[in-house]
Structure 1
Amino acid sequence: MHADRFDNQIAFDLLARPEHQRLLYGALKAAQVTKYHPQFEDCVTVAHLTWLSAYQNYAPELPANLPDFRKFAFRRIKWRTVDYLRKQTLRTQSQVNLEHALPITIDP
């Protein structure tokens, strides 16, 4: 069976299986993101999109190589989440504190 890699519905149907939901949340947990994390919902969204990207970019035939795909998707979700959180941390560190922003003037 050859699946169209760009059929998003097939990818999300595969993700809807309970074992793949556990994989997704396990990858988030491996990235130190639990449901109490302040950016949990954003990370879940990133994880869903990363699953779709992993599905589209996995070269071997599915479903024959499903166990290897699961490993591939787990690693991609984990590291994409870590990268997302790193970028968010850098972004918040480079922002000016609102208390100090008032006296700043911007010359056009």
Structure 2
Amino acid sequence: MRILTEEIADDFFFVHTSLVHGALRKCGVLRSNQNYDDLVQIGLLTLVKVYEQFPEDLCEEEYFYQFTGFAFQKIRWAIIDELRKYQLKKEREETVSEFFDDEADPDRDKNEDWIVWQLFPSMLDCLAPNEQVYLKESVLNQLSVTDIARKHKVSRKTVYQWKNRTALKLNHFKAVLTN
């Protein structure tokens, strides 16, 4: 295993940083993306890991090109993994409570949160048992669809079905709160 030393780091990054930006472009990540700088850092860290793990001597031209292809793919995968994590985090934050989101109605009084929680038992009453499970797990326990599926030993597709049916049934509560 080789180590990227300070003596060669500047030259190494000058030559290979374009792999990171190319992988970001390939993944459709623009500079305007709020996570762009974080993704660049992840790409650079992955580039260093690949350099340290690559078994051949990069001074030989044949291996240099093999390294660039190998590094590009590894960087791309790392970026895709991170994008999936961002998406999962976004999913986790989106719960049924989005119906009652303050940003959706900036004029909404903060005291209405109390009303929402007073209506929660009524919301549960109008749902089927599996839909109640979804509502409790997503709102009270803040679990993602994947976590709910694992916990209750069902597929993610099933949990999405619970979520969609719950949203449809709770639309009338949203109408009550917005009037």
Moved runs in structure 1, 4+ residues, more than 3 A? 10-13, 96-106
How well do the aligned residues superpose, as a CA RMSD in angstroms?
A: 2.7
Structure number with greater CO (CA < 8 Å, separation at least 6) is: 1
Q: What does 1:25-104 correspond to in 2, within 5 Å?
A: 25-64=21-60, 65-95=63-93, 99=101
Percentage of identical aligned residues: 27
CA distance, structure 1, for counterparts of residue 68 and residue 46 of structure 2:
12
Equivalent residue pairs, number = 101
More helix by share: 2
> Structure 2-normalised TM-score?
0.48
How far does the alpha carbon of each residue in 1:17-43 deviate from its partner, in whole angstroms, 9 at most, with x for none? 2xx232221111011112122211111
Greater Rg over alpha carbons, structure: 2
Contact 2:46 2:75 in 1 (8 A): yes
State the secondary structure of the residue aligned to 2:57.
coil
> Structure 1-normalised TM-score?
0.76
Q: What is the letter of the counterpart of residue 79 of structure 1?
A: W
Q: What is the letter of the counterpart of residue 6 of structure 1?
A: I
Give unmatched runs, 5+ long, in structure 1. Answer: none
How far does the alpha carbon of each residue in 1:48-72 deviate from its partner, in whole angstroms, 9 at most, with x for none? 1010111011111222111110001
Give unmatched runs, 5+ long, in structure 2. Answer: 103-112, 118-138, 142-179
CA distance, structure 1, for counterparts of residue 30 and residue 140 of structure 2:
41
State the secondary structure of the residue aligned to 1:91.
helix
